[in-house]
Amino acid sequence: MDTDALNRRLRSAAPSPTVRRLVLTEADYLLFEAIRRHGPLPSHYLYELTKHARRDRSHLQNRLTEFYNGDANHPYLTRPPRQFASFKARYQHLVYDLAPRARQVLAERATKALCTPKRSDEFVHQLMQACVAASIELTAPANGLRYISRNEILSHPSCPATTQQAANPMAIPTHGFGGRSTLIPDDLFGLEYPGQGYRFFALEIDRGTESIERKDPGQTAFGRKVDGYLHILKQRVYRDHWGIRNLHVITVTTNTTHARNILDYVRRRNEPEYARRFGMVCEPCFGANWEVPNGVLTNLLEAPWATPGDTRRLFSGET
């Protein structure tokens, strides 16, 4: 067993089974589903998402450790090694992701997962997206809203069968996206406003690693995503592809300068009718010296978002 100078087991140590057989409960399946729904998540987020099915936080912590170490048939969870590259890795909440065994048991339960494609984006990008989406899900009820996951959107009867049966239902047809024919948002979700209707959101995560504009069309540029989304909004492609009645494009980035430059790019497209569908907010903890957030990002729903025209509460239901 790998230990430190004080004989404490290292957080990054390889799995070492301590039980002969792990028996899963409904609370465990909820845990696995939460990770599959959002991506790799810190332990305190997993507690908030499943605490209604747990005795207390210690019970979940013990279960996470057991699932990481596994039994004679391998572990259920992993601790992505990239998290230990953080400057504060020794002191922050551990992040967990699904091991192949957990994905297999979810498949055996025939739980519907229309869109869980393999991901190639780097770990911090995945972590940021997962924390943002989970924070919105967790904060929605306190604001009188119901969170609608992408699986619910893609499994709804309004979503065309051709989309549901596609290799990646999230890939939506567009033009102007660097010569590509489809655009894939980092996430898709909706909010139900009781008695008022629904609003749907394509989520983009931007850690400032992409230039906004490039001369070479073969290189990645965030501005090309903006052009692609403008086409989707103007032609209402989201109705035909996902079966939803409206769409807003929200971007969470890591610094205000980059956010301002993106909004300036949207403004220069001179499409005021659709510019208000774009919203920006900054979450600096995922910047160059990134760290796992200390708590749920409640500000995402409750604080004002910047748009090309003004600053407003994007999720308030106001048009």
Q: Is 50 exceeded by the pLDDT of residue 319?
A: no
Question: What is 26-108's CATH number?
Answer: 1.10.10
pLDDT, tens digit (0-9, with 9 covering 90-100), for 159-202:
999 999 998 999 999 976 666 789 999 999 999 999 889 999 99
User: What does the pLDDT read at residue 151?
Assistant: 92
User: What does the pLDDT read at residue 15?
Assistant: 81
User: What does the pLDDT read at residue 42?
Assistant: 98
- Do the Cβ atoms of 315 and 143 come closer than 8 Å? yes
Q: Is 90 exceeded by the pLDDT of residue 149?
A: yes
Q: Between 20 and 130, name the one with better pLDDT.
A: 130
Reported in sequence order, the residue ranges of 88-241 that DSSP labels E, i.e. its strands, are: 95-98, 146-148, 172-177, 180-183, 187-193, 197-205
Q: Is 70 exceeded by the pLDDT of residue 212?
A: no
* Six token digits for residue 244: 């939803």
Q: What share of the chain in percent tops pLDDT 90?
A: 61
Q: Is 90 exceeded by the pLDDT of residue 240?
A: yes
pLDDT, tens digit (0-9, with 9 covering 90-100), for 9-33:
667 777 877 788 899 999 999 999 9
Q: Which range is most confident: 77-81, 259-263, 266-270? A: 77-81
pTM: 0.89
Supply the DSSP symbol for 122: -
Mean pLDDT of 88-111: 90
In DSSP terms, 177 is beta-bridged to 180
Q: Is 90 exceeded by the pLDDT of residue 8?
A: no
Q: Is 90 exceeded by the pLDDT of residue 248?
A: yes
Mean pLDDT of 76-103: 93
Rounded distance, CA 178 to CA 8, Å? 51
- Do the Cβ atoms of 275 and 265 come closer than 8 Å? no
Q: What is the mean pLDDT of the chain?
A: 87
User: What does the pLDDT read at residue 312?
Assistant: 61
Rounded distance, CA 30 to CA 271, Å? 43
User: What does the pLDDT read at residue 63?
Assistant: 95
Letter string b/e over residues 137-166, b meaning 16 or more CB atoms within 10 A of that residue's CB? bbbbeebebebbbbbebbeeeebeeebbeb
Q: Is 90 exceeded by the pLDDT of residue 47?
A: yes
Q: Is 50 exceeded by the pLDDT of residue 219?
A: no
Mean pLDDT of 139-158: 94
- Do the Cβ atoms of 307 and 314 come closer than 8 Å? yes
Rounded distance, CA 204 to CA 224, Å? 13
Residues of the chain with CATH 1.10.10: 26-108
Mean pLDDT of 288-305: 90
Rounded distance, CA 212 to CA 94, Å? 33
- Do the Cβ atoms of 161 and 69 come closer than 8 Å? no
Mean pLDDT of 252-261: 89
pLDDT, tens digit (0-9, with 9 covering 90-100), for 267-278:
998 888 898 899
Rounded distance, CA 164 to CA 242, Å? 9
Q: Is 60 exceeded by the pLDDT of residue 308?
A: yes
Q: Is 90 exceeded by the pLDDT of residue 51?
A: yes
Q: Between 135 and 116, name the one with better pLDDT.
A: 135
What does each C-alpha distance from 114 to 167, 168, 194 come to in angstroms?
A: 9, 8, 26
